[in-house]
Amino acid sequence: MPSEQLNRPTNVLLVAADQDDGRSTLRQFLTSAGYQCSTCGSGREAVQRFVDNPDIDIVLCDLHAPELDGVRLVDELMQACQAPRVFEAIVFAEQLVQQCAFGALRLGAADYLQRPADPVQILRTIRCLEQRLEQRRQGERERAELNRRMSALARAIDELQTDLGKLNGAADDPSAPAGANPESSLPAPFDRLTQRQQDVARLVGRGMANQTIAGELGLSPNTVKLYVSQIMRITGARNRTQIALDLGRGLPPVRQPGA
C-alpha cells in the first residue's frame, strides 16, 4: 500500500468520464484509498452533480467528455462555484491533444495528466490538491472574518456618526426635537457619484458582498460589480477595503429599490 494512503482523506471526488470501465476502475481505486467518490458519464451530468452536492471539491474529467469537453466543463464549474466553496479540477488528456488541456488550465484547472495515467500518480496529484484546497479554505475563512470585522467597524462608525449628528443638531438648535439629524453630505471624492453609485458605495463600506448588495438594492450581482468598478474609477480607490476606509464618516441612507 502506498504511503499516500496512510492518512484517511475527507475530500469528496467526482469522476467524469465516458468509458464505464475507466470510471469503475478509478472509482474502486480511489474508494480503497479512503475517498468518497461519485462518477458520471458526461460533462453535463458532472455539472449537475457538482451543483447538487456541495461537498464535492475535486473533479477529475476527460478532456473530451461527452456533451461538455474538459475546457467547457471547468468553465461551467467555475461559474457554478459560489464563495466560500472552493474546488480543484484534474483533466485527463491524450498525448496528441495536450495543447488542448492548456485551455482548461487557463480557466482554473489545477493540473492535467496524460493517459494512461498511473493510479499512484493520480493519488499523489490529489494529495497535493488537498493541501491547496486547505490553503484556499483558510484564505476564505480569513476573508470572511475580515469582512465581519469591517462590517462591525462600519456599523460602529455609523452609530458614532448618528450620535455626533444628534449632539451637533442639539447644540445648533436647542429647540430641535431629540434625535433630529441633518442629512449628511458625502465626503470628496464620493460626492461626484450618482445616487445609485452612492447607494452601492455605502453597502460596500459596510463590508457587504456583491450578492448581498444586489439583494438589498434589487439589482443583479453583475450590475453591482459594474457599479463597484465605476466607484473605484471615479474615486481612485484601489479596492473595496479602501472604499470602506474612505467612507468612515458615513453616507446618506440607501434608497430602497424603485425610490
Average pLDDT, the chain: 75
Say if CB 75 and CB 52 are below 8 A apart: no
pLDDT classification of 8: cutoffs 50, 70, 90? very low
pLDDT at 256: 47
254 vs 70, which has greater pLDDT?
70
169 confidence band (pLDDT: 50, 70, 90): low
* Side chain identity at residue 139, one-letter code: G
Mean pLDDT over residues 144-157, rounded?
Answer: 79
Q: So what's the pLDDT on residue 257?
A: 52
What is the tens place of the pLDDT at every residue in 199-237? 899 899 888 999 999 888 888 888 898 889 999 999 888
Query: What values do phi and psi take at 238, rounded to 5?
Result: -80, -30
* DSSP track, the chain: --GGGSSPP--EEEEE-S-HHHHHHHHHHHHHTT-EEEEESSHHHHHHHHHH-TTEEEEEEETT-SSS-HHHHHHHHHHH--TT---EEEEEE-GGGHHHHHHHHHHT--EEEESSPPHHHHHHHHHHHHHHHHHHHHHHHHHHHHHHHHHHHHHHHHHHHHHHHHHHHHHH-TTSPTT--PPP-PPTTGGGS-HHHHHHHHHHHTT--HHHHHHHHT--HHHHHHHHHHHHHHH---SHHHHHHHTTT--PPPPPTT-
- Lowest-pLDDT choice from 18-27, 104-113, 232-241: 104-113
As to burial, measured by CB atoms within 10 angstroms (0-12 exposed, 13-18 middle, 19+ buried), residue 256 is exposed
Tens digit of each residue's pLDDT (9 = 90 or more) over 45-103: 889 999 999 889 888 888 776 677 777 888 888 888 887 888 888 888 766 455 555 55
Q: What is the mean pLDDT of residues 27-55?
A: 88
What is the mean pLDDT of the segment spanning 5-28?
72
Set out the domains of the chain in order of their start, with CATH numbers: 9-140 (3.40.50.2300), 183-259 (1.10.10.10)
